[in-house]
Structure 1
């Protein structure tokens, strides 16, 4: 199934889109040639998304047309298209980016008891412009073979014993920025700067892929890393004895850094009704399909997680910072730069 995975920042030549269930025409129309309703989605969350949309179409008869890209690129595109956007729904892999889209006036509030009944208050916008679909935790990963006493806090990752043994994602990635934004929100900018300085002092190996980070641990290139939990879930699905251990950080404090995959109806949605229907389906009937597709935890706490990640055990997470990640993003980016975090 063809889909454009990279969007040019010039916003030219952006006509390629991906289709579900045999949809063969594109454009701004919210109906297919035979009159079937369609909903157009811009999504930064792409793992397993085809299966999710196919299930929605099978249950509702509404076709889904989707375009993938990074969260910032899709936000840029929405802003550039304005009232002429074909997008009905936007999906992000990061809470900060959905919040920044809301701040830019690109999203539309949805008044729905289905949405507010399924998604906890801390995991949705105060004005209901966006709703979490799944939970993703940025945690401590260590070698099962070489580390017997792993760090248990983000500050301990900066312990000098891990110098030359640490892998991190670069500062340009939203996961790094949101982790630092969450730390600023919980412990303040000064303490966060001390923590980030200690990471930098450990001469980390920067790798722009959590999968590659975990494989670097396996290969012995590092012993300790920060990565999202579901990357280990995927690798364990392929290799049950993959030699990396997860540690839930900050369990004596606010809990592990929590980020979310989230979705929102766009401010200029051509087919708002279908967008709302898809959003409501994603938090209800489609909640487990969506979260299981990427080994994420459901945003609805009453829905059971998949078998592999259920094996990671119970944990405490920092729900209180989720709404603040967008507001703290610029401060986090500046702090990372000043700390010379690459």
Structure 2
């Protein structure tokens, strides 16, 4: 009898503890996530457990199924958000707070995913050889840029999203022609990461490069990489028409979340002004909350017009973008 009672009390205690803990699977780096999770716990009393990974979280969630401990998943771009939804690993979150904090352009129409930060896909130019330029993505495929562009793999998620935006705006045929033109204008075979493209411009390998805004910010803050970043100019493309392409990081509620209310509270907290300010300061990203300003450094790059294309459209054309990359043999 005593053993039975003890076992029952242990089970009850475990259940209560689980209800006060949110398990997070995160593609976002610990240095960025942990400060906000600590603030969340201080303000709500809800603890968090975090699993960090660079790859494979979708497969892990799928393999774990109903036994998965994950409540919330934090991702680094729209393609991963879309993949989680397509694999049936998410559930919708109905929240007035999330709807108020996040513009409709940056959340799923069915509330399956929510953006938390924004990053622009910029064109960098050599400060000494070129200077600031009024450029469009379309310009990069013209003869004036022959042999002057550096770019990472076309199949990198950030570039796939950019290509998807070109398909959304111009149609598949024109997007393919554009992609062929950009490939013809590359100074070297696609390689490296976004920081490597900025470094290549600084070293004279090319005059222009494509890269995300927050990598530029991180380089400026790194004493070893700042000398390279200081030799380039960050330019916001398509300011004369539709605006600069924007990608997102974001969050979803896991399909088999055990603590839905706690997970919802965390997502709402991450979309709020306090956490959005932390995102802005720690990672040089643009806050998704319209009332939160970017960091002083990011603001110094100037205001820009963002593409109003709903981010959901980038997911719609993801597969087509991948197909075009194969057809033009972009990385070869």
TM-score, length of structure 1 as denominator length: 0.85
CA, structure 1 residues 70+329, in 2 after alignment: closer, same or farther (shift >3 Å)? farther
SS of the residue 1:171 aligns to: coil
The answer to whether residue 238 in structure 2 is matched with residue 266 in structure 1 is no
TM-score, length of structure 2 as denominator length: 0.88
Return the alpha-carbon distance in structure 2 between the equivalents of residues 327 and 207 of structure 1: 26
The answer to whether residue 200 in structure 2 is matched with residue 216 in structure 1 is yes
Moved more, 234-243 or 107-116: 234-243
Whether contact under 8 Å (1:287, 1:300) holds in the other structure is: yes
SS of the residue 1:293 aligns to: helix
Runs of 5+ in structure 1 lacking a partner? 1-29
Deviation at 1:151, TM superposition (A): 5.7
* 1:97 corresponds to which of 67, 77, 80: 80
Return the alpha-carbon distance in structure 1 between the equivalents of residues 298 and 311 of structure 2: 21
Q: Which residue of 2 aligns with 1:339?
A: 328
For residues 41-80 of structure 1, the aligned pairs below 5 Å read 41-46=24-29, 48-70=32-54, 73-80=56-63
Q: Which residue of 1 aligns with 2:135?
A: 152
Whether contact under 8 Å (1:129, 1:264) holds in the other structure is: yes
Runs of 5+ in structure 2 lacking a partner? 1-12
Moved more, 111-120 or 145-154: 145-154
RMSD after superposition: 2.3
Deviation at 1:55, TM superposition (A): 2.3
Return the alpha-carbon distance in structure 2 between the equivalents of residues 39 and 103 of structure 1: 23
Report the count of equivalent residues.
Answer: 313
Q: Which residue of 2 aligns with 1:128?
A: 111
Q: Which residue of 2 aligns with 1:252?
A: 240
Larger Rg: 2
For residues 88-237 of structure 1, the aligned pairs below 5 Å read 88-148=71-131, 150=133, 152-205=135-188, 206-237=190-221
Deviation at 1:149, TM superposition (A): 5.8
SS of the residue 2:140 aligns to: helix
Return the alpha-carbon distance in structure 1 between the equivalents of residues 192 and 240 of structure 2: 30
1:161-204 residue CA offsets vs partner (Å, 9 max, x unmatched): 43333111102311111110111111111121121111110134
Whether contact under 8 Å (1:185, 1:321) holds in the other structure is: no
Q: Which residue of 2 aligns with 1:243?
A: 231
CA, structure 1 residues 302+84, in 2 after alignment: closer, same or farther (shift >3 Å)? same
Greater helix share, 1 or 2?
2
Q: Which residue of 1 aligns with 2:8?
A: none
Return the alpha-carbon distance in structure 2 between the equivalents of residues 106 and 286 of structure 1: 25
Return the alpha-carbon distance in structure 2 between the equivalents of residues 31 and 299 of structure 1: 36
1:113-148 residue CA offsets vs partner (Å, 9 max, x unmatched): 111011111111111111110111111111111113
Whether contact under 8 Å (2:151, 2:186) holds in the other structure is: no
Return the alpha-carbon distance in structure 2 between the equivalents of residues 211 and 38 of structure 1: 37
1:275-305 residue CA offsets vs partner (Å, 9 max, x unmatched): 1111010011312112332111111111111
Return the alpha-carbon distance in structure 1 between the equivalents of residues 187 and 77 of structure 2: 24
Deviation at 1:36, TM superposition (A): 8.2
